[in-house]
């Protein structure tokens, strides 16, 4: 069964390719290498024993997308990771984000719905909830006005998919990720941010290895246990497995609606300081940090209610925050060695 993974050499994409291959799917990866290295293919091969079929395609080129699907009309499902994801960058360059995240979605859907099977898994984000009023956040919590063009592309993406599914053969699962972290336990694949990491865990591991002098903790005057923000950090391997389960649900026609939405989180919130201290404990490294002003756009807290994913999708996390931090640290050490 041929499954296409766009952005399949990226952080979450590559881990999902591994899980798909482990389950016997034939995987075709599309990536334009704008934020990923071709060597990720070797990492995937080392873990699974098989190199996925790879096409270097820029999904903003409509003709290339059309050609691709002419060649791969036997595709039974598509998992769409290809997108830009830096919040700050999206504020400075909104058109880049609308082109990268919306145009590409439209082109992919146009081709997918012409196939006999149009099963589509979409990477959404808990960012659609903004600062939710109640914790943990359920899927029926209201979608708040987006705080960045990046966040807006996730909301618009969800709406596009719902509109298309209403009038075509498209079936879709929207997966709203909380904070994906960690790496494959083999340390063959992991997260490789370009430049200075914007996200917490890659910054921590780079600080611990000596690449960054000091971590800035954005605010300690929030109304939380220790004043720092609360997030739901989920191991990327658990997250990857959820994609395979969601795809299988569509292939088995188990879905109750044309478009279903699931939160992917652990259900547990951790503060920034808790993450730092957990990292120090599992790595034996001291993390230098200082408290600085709040970062614009940060919500106080966000963690998932995971009941729907557990009961309907039949998926649950298996790995802990400590597992995730240990794998991230193992990966960082391997990359710099």
Binding track, positions 233-272, relative to ligand UD1; x by CB under 6 A: ---------------------------------------x
Distance of CA 254 to the CA centre of its chain: 24
Binding track, positions 34-73, relative to ligand UD1; x by CB under 6 A: ----------------------------------------
CB of residue 266 to ligand UD1, shortest distance in Å = 14
Residue positions counted in the chain? 337
CB of residue 268 to ligand UD1, shortest distance in Å = 15
Residue (of 181, 242, 251) closest to 19 by Cα position: 242
Q: What letter would DSSP give residue 56?
A: -
Can you tell me the distance from the alpha carbon of 15 to that of 85, in angstroms, rounded to the nearest whole number?
Answer: 17
Pick the binder of ligand UD1 from 138, 155, 186, 198 (CB under 6 A).
Answer: 198
Pick the binder of ligand UD1 from 199, 248, 285, 333 (CB under 6 A).
Answer: 199
Q: Which is nearer to ligand UD1, 60 or 295 (CB)?
A: 295
Q: What letter would DSSP give residue 312?
A: I
Can you tell me the distance from the alpha carbon of 78 to that of 247, in angstroms, rounded to the nearest whole number?
Answer: 8
Residue (of 153, 159, 43) closest to 89 by Cα position: 153
Pick the binder of ligand UD1 from 176, 231, 241, 243 (CB under 6 A).
Answer: 231
CB of residue 273 to ligand UD1, shortest distance in Å = 9
Can you tell me the distance from the alpha carbon of 312 to that of 254, in angstroms, rounded to the nearest whole number?
Answer: 10
- Do 327 and 187 touch, CB atoms closer than 8 A? yes
Can you tell me the distance from the alpha carbon of 28 to that of 89, in angstroms, rounded to the nearest whole number?
Answer: 29
Pick the binder of ligand UD1 from 132, 165, 183, 215 (CB under 6 A).
Answer: 215
Residue 55: strand pairing partners: 30
Pick the binder of ligand UD1 from 164, 175, 183, 217 (CB under 6 A).
Answer: 217
Can you tell me the distance from the alpha carbon of 217 to that of 109, in angstroms, rounded to the nearest whole number?
Answer: 40
Pick the binder of ligand UD1 from 200, 237, 273, 328 (CB under 6 A).
Answer: 200
Annotated catalytic residue within 150, 177, 222, 233: 150
Count of CB atoms within 10 A of residue 92's CB?
A: 10
Task: Based on the shown chain and the rule CB under 6 A, indicate whether residue 85 belongs to the binding site for ligand UD1.
Answer: yes
Can you tell me the distance from the alpha carbon of 286 to that of 299, in angstroms, rounded to the nearest whole number?
Answer: 27
In the complex, which residue's CB is closest to ligand UD1?
229
Active site residue 222: no
State the residues that interact with ligand UD1 by CB under 6 A: 85, 87, 125, 127, 151, 179, 198-200, 203, 215-218, 229, 231, 272, 295, 297-298
Could you give the residue numbers annotated as active site? Answer: 150
């Amino acid at each position: 069964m041929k499954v296409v993974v766009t952005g399949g050499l990226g952080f979450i994409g590559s881990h999902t390719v591994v899980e798909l291959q482990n389950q016997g799917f034939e995987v075709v990866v599309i990536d334009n290498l704008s934020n990923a290295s071709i060597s990720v293919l070797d990492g995937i091969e080392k873990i699974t024993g098989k190199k996925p079929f790879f096409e270097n395609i820029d999904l903003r080129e409509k003709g290339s997308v059309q050609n691709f699907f002419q060649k791969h009309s036997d595709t039974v499902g598509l998992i769409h990771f290809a997108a830009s994801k830096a919040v700050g960058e999206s504020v400075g360059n909104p058109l880049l984000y609308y082109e990268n995240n919306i145009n590409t979605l439209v082109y992919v859907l146009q081709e997918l719905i012409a196939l006999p099977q149009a099963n589509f898994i979409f990477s959404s984000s808990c960012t659609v909830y903004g600062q939710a009023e109640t914790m943990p956040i359920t899927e029926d919590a209201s979608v708040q006005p987006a705080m960045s063009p990046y966040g807006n592309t996730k909301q618009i993406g969800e709406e596009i998919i719902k509109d298309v599914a209403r009038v075509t053969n498209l079936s879709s699962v929207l997966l709203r990720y909380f904070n994906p972290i960690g790496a494959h336990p083999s340390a063959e694949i992991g997260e490789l941010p370009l430049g200075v990491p914007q996200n917490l865990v890659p910054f921590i591991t780079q600080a611990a290895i000596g690449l960054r002098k000091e971590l800035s903790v954005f605010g300690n005057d929030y109304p939380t246990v220790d004043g720092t923000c609360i997030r739901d950090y989920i191991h990327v391997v658990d997250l990857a497995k959820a994609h395979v389960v969601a795809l299988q649900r569509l292939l088995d026609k188990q879905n109750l609606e044309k478009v279903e939405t699931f939160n992917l989180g652990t259900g547990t919130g951790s503060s920034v300081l808790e993450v730092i201290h957990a990292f120090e404990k599992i790595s034996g490294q001291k993390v230098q940090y200082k408290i600085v002003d709040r970062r614009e756009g940060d919500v106080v807290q966000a963690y998932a209610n995971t009941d729907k994913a557990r009961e309907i999708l039949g998926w649950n996390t298996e790995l802990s925050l400590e597992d995730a931090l240990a794998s991230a640290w193992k990966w960082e050490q391997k990359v710099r060695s």
